[in-house]
Amino acid sequence: MRSVLGKLLVSFIVIWIALLGLSKLYDFALLHNSNVKASYIQKNKIDADLLILGTCQAVWIVQPSLIEKHTQLKTYNLGLNNSDFSDNYLYLYMYLKRNKTPEYLFLYISPETMDLHYSAFNTYRFATFVGDAVVDSVLKDCDNNYFKWTSIPFMRYAYYNNNVNFDVMQGLKHFLTNKTTPHFKDNGYEQAIHPIKETDPNAVVQIYPDGFVFTWSDLREKYLRKTIELAQQHNIKVTLYESPLLKEAILHLPNRMEMLRKIKSVAEEYGIEFVQFENMKIADSSKYFFSSVGLTTKGSVIFSDSLGKYIKNKIMKK
Amino acid sequence: MQFNSFLFLFFLLTVVILNYFLSSRYRLSFLLFSSFVFIGYFSLASLVAVLFFSIVNFYIAKNISGRSFLYVISLLFNVSAIVLFNYFNTSTQGISFKLSEVSFNIGSFIVALGLSFYSLQNIAYITDIYFKRSTPQHSILKYVLYNSFFPKVVSGPVLLPNELMPQMSDNRPSAQMLASGINRLLTGLLKKMVIADRLFPAVQEIFDTPETYNGLTTLAGVYLFTLQLYFDFSGYTDMALGAAKMLGYDLKENFNLPLRSLSITEFWRRWHISLISWFSNYIYYPVVYRLRAYKKTAVFIGVAATFLVSAVWHGIGLTFLLWALCHVIYMSFELLTKSFRTNLSVRVPVMFYKLFSIFIVFNAVCFSNIFFRAHSATHAFQLIKNIFSNFIPTNWMRDFVAPLAQSGNLNELFNGITTVVITLLVLLFERSLTKKGNETKINIGYIIMCVMLIMVFGVFSNAERFIYMQF
């Protein structure tokens, strides 16, 4: 029995050390992966004057170059695919730690972003930053099942290993090949990845065939508020914005107005603007949409141009 | 408390340590208590059910000698328990009833954890005593433990009374058993977390939307399901056997490299061995013996009866009957062509014959498993229709890669490829893996390899329930 226990102890110690080493390797690889936005903003000085933040709608439909054309402000798109306000809050927090404070923040918001049915908090994105008090508090709040295991070496990566293994391999490749350019543009913009649906405008309204009733999430509201508060603590001028929504789709959303009223009341509480672009002409035609809220690349050019003009004429003149 | 959860590992570790150091006179009571905690954690109703069925069968067995009426009643009692469990398990609502103003909805799964498995044990016990093949057990504690022993209560292995009860002594587990148990437990965790649960999303995608995919994609989904089922169930069995060994018990093997079988008959000698040996002892042999005058016909009827009972045991539904029918046809075909196949095997190169047979058997099993996994017979026939029409995808990325590798993005593609590579490697080195899992000494290298593979590739966040827990 002593020999069994002795060997088990040796195995345990070797595994513990190996997991610590593997953890360090994953940290290193992920920080060298230029395609991971969190790593990119850690490694590169962005120092933008205007930040775009939000879910995939923000990433795909706001082209910073078109905003810059009108405003002459250095603009960076910090939006994230499949994210919610907790991701946005942590990204803003990490951005502010390494970069100059921007003057303006444009935060994407829509009834969808306030409903847990859409998008999700992606814990694995912050595995590298476990140990930071702010990151830890959000992880504990949004994914405690994950957080409670993070004290075991490597468990912060093991828990969602399906989401990180590829990024680690890619990070090692980027390190070995000295690749520093990300797959997204230097200004953070990414093209929408739905080319198949772009050719089928009829599919757009089918997303809500029987109508969809939104449910307001208190957790989403909490992190919306925390994001606004974090920005205001740094004296950043915050604006909430919603991009155009396909007109046909509005018919299928019975409580959309009620959700918008709630968003407006939150904005008013903080003395910030909530800007909507639902009356833009492109909202009438499904050819500019790949989903009821997602603009195609053509649509995003038109919208970004309008947003740039709006910032120049309405926000910067204040 | 799933076997593939930290909670279970912690529970097992505690029980193993206490069981080892406890005074021998309390060891059995302690194991019974631990089993109650394990079952009670699933639901109190499961605990009441296992106690109720154990006590009733224990006292029936004591008084059954020479009383055929009581024997028939006890058989009906146990069989109806299985059938009712399966009936309510098939319905989504479970059992609902209203008492005064209070509504009850008892999810059937929670009511009857492991009922299908321990009911077979009860039938075997009562039958053996009725036919005087064994004598009634004197200790009710041992009998309840025989049914509720936590490493095997969830999904077997199904044990005959003489396979477990003679081991119920006060002996302390040996160092070899402890070492072997750890090796086996890790092998099971590896199979479940690194292979079965990684295969699950692709299988679910193909089987949940049967009308969507072309032939090749459907076929891939069907192959993946057979692999998922194998690694899921053999992973569970490894964990059950490992946990039992750590407590000083040797449970019956359930799998013996079944995917390398050269015939369906051989496959059933290697797949879910404990259940098949139960069916052989209590269905097949009695039927064949009774009809022995009809020679080959008796064998056909025996096979058909065995698979009919097996189908009902798995669940009430046309899909399980069709699954069983497939195997009845396969086995009848093998019986009729036995001499032809024997002649053929000596005329063609051995390696070719073996590989060809393995290929045919694997495909036949996969085909029958379409019925085993499909939500309905209509879905199953739709999947079969898909396989035989539009075989080649028109758009490989959209129609083949994306459904199998979830969204088909680079990350999921990487995961899909990794899963396929690991699965193939494990299949290729399965014999050595099984050998390592059965070693009676601690192999540091093997433990490290298993743990590291589980940590890097195991599924933690969306761990799936073991497939056989539903039966």
pLDDT in tens, A132-176: 999 999 999 999 999 999 999 999 999 999 999 999 999 999 999
User: Can you tell me the mean pLDDT for B152-159?
Assistant: 91
CA A119 from chain centre, in angstroms, equals 10
Whole-angstrom distance, CA of residue A112 vs CA of residue A83:
12
Whole-angstrom distance, CA of residue A286 vs CA of residue A201:
5
- Residue linked to tokens 């229709």: B385
- Residue linked to tokens 């590798």: B405
pLDDT for residue B104 is more than 50: no
Residue A99 · residue A201 · CB < 8 Å: no
pLDDT band at A208 (very low <50, low <70, confident <90, very high): low
Contact yes or no for A165 and B178 at CB 8 A? no
The residues, any chain, with a CB within 8 Å of residue A311's CB and separated by 6 or more, are: A50, A67, A70, A71, A73, A104, A106
Residue A145 identity (one-letter amino acid): N
Q: Which of residues 165-194 of A touch B (CB under 8 A)?
A: 165-167, 169
Q: A149 in contact with B at a CB cutoff of 8 Å?
A: yes
Contact yes or no for A166 and B411 at CB 8 A? yes
Higher pLDDT, B239 or B98: B239
Whole-angstrom distance, CA of residue B220 vs CA of residue B378:
20
Contact yes or no for A4 and B179 at CB 8 A? yes
Vertex A165: Cα angle to A161 and A167 (nearest 5): 125
Strand partners, A52: A77, A106
Whole-angstrom distance, CA of residue B313 vs CA of residue B230:
19
| Chain A residues close to B410, C-beta within 8 Å | 166
Q: B382 in contact with A at a CB cutoff of 8 Å?
A: no
pLDDT (0 to 100) of residue A123:
94
Whole-angstrom distance, CA of residue B69 vs CA of residue A188:
80
Tell me the helices (H) and strands (E) count for chain B, helix number first: 25, 2
pLDDT (0 to 100) of residue B105:
44
User: Can you tell me the mean pLDDT for B313-339?
Assistant: 93
Contact yes or no for A196 and B398 at CB 8 A? yes
Vertex A275: Cα angle to A40 and A238 (nearest 5): 50
Contact yes or no for B448 and A149 at CB 8 A? no
How do residues B275-311 score in pLDDT, each as one tens digit?
999 999 999 999 999 999 998 899 999 999 999 999 9
How do residues A214-237 score in pLDDT, each as one tens digit?
999 999 999 999 999 999 999 999
The mean pLDDT value of chain B amounts to 89
Whole-angstrom distance, CA of residue A146 vs CA of residue A4:
32
Nearest Cα neighbor of A59 from A167, A186, A192, A180 is A192
Residue A59 · residue A67 · CB < 8 Å: no
In a 3-state reduction of DSSP, which class is residue B380?
A: helix
| Closest approach of B455 to chain A, Cα-based (Å) | 5
- Measured between alpha carbons, how far apart are the two ends of chain A, in Å? 79
User: Can you tell me the mean pLDDT for B27-34?
Assistant: 94
Contact yes or no for B448 and A196 at CB 8 A? no
User: Can you tell me the mean pLDDT for A19-24?
Assistant: 96
The residues, any chain, with a CB within 8 Å of residue A270's CB and separated by 6 or more, are: A225, A228, A229, A232, A238
pLDDT for residue B91 is more than 60: no
pLDDT (0 to 100) of residue B324:
96
Enumerate the H helices of A143-199 as residue ranges. Answer: 144-147, 155-158, 161-177, 195-198
Q: B411 in contact with A at a CB cutoff of 8 Å?
A: yes
Chain A residue whose CA is closest to B395: A196
In a 3-state reduction of DSSP, which class is residue A75?
A: strand
Q: A233 in contact with B at a CB cutoff of 8 Å?
A: no
| Chain A residues close to B463, C-beta within 8 Å | none
CA A113 from chain centre, in angstroms, equals 11
Tokens of A199: 């050719």
- Residue linked to tokens 């920005």: A231
Superfamily of domain A2-315: SGNH hydrolase (3.40.50.1110)
* Cβ count near B68 (within 10 Å): 9
Contact yes or no for A18 and B6 at CB 8 A? no
In a 3-state reduction of DSSP, which class is residue B427?
A: helix
pLDDT (0 to 100) of residue A185:
86
Tokens of B161: 């009374």
Whole-angstrom distance, CA of residue B112 vs CA of residue B126:
20
pLDDT (0 to 100) of residue A23:
96
Contact yes or no for A163 and B458 at CB 8 A? no
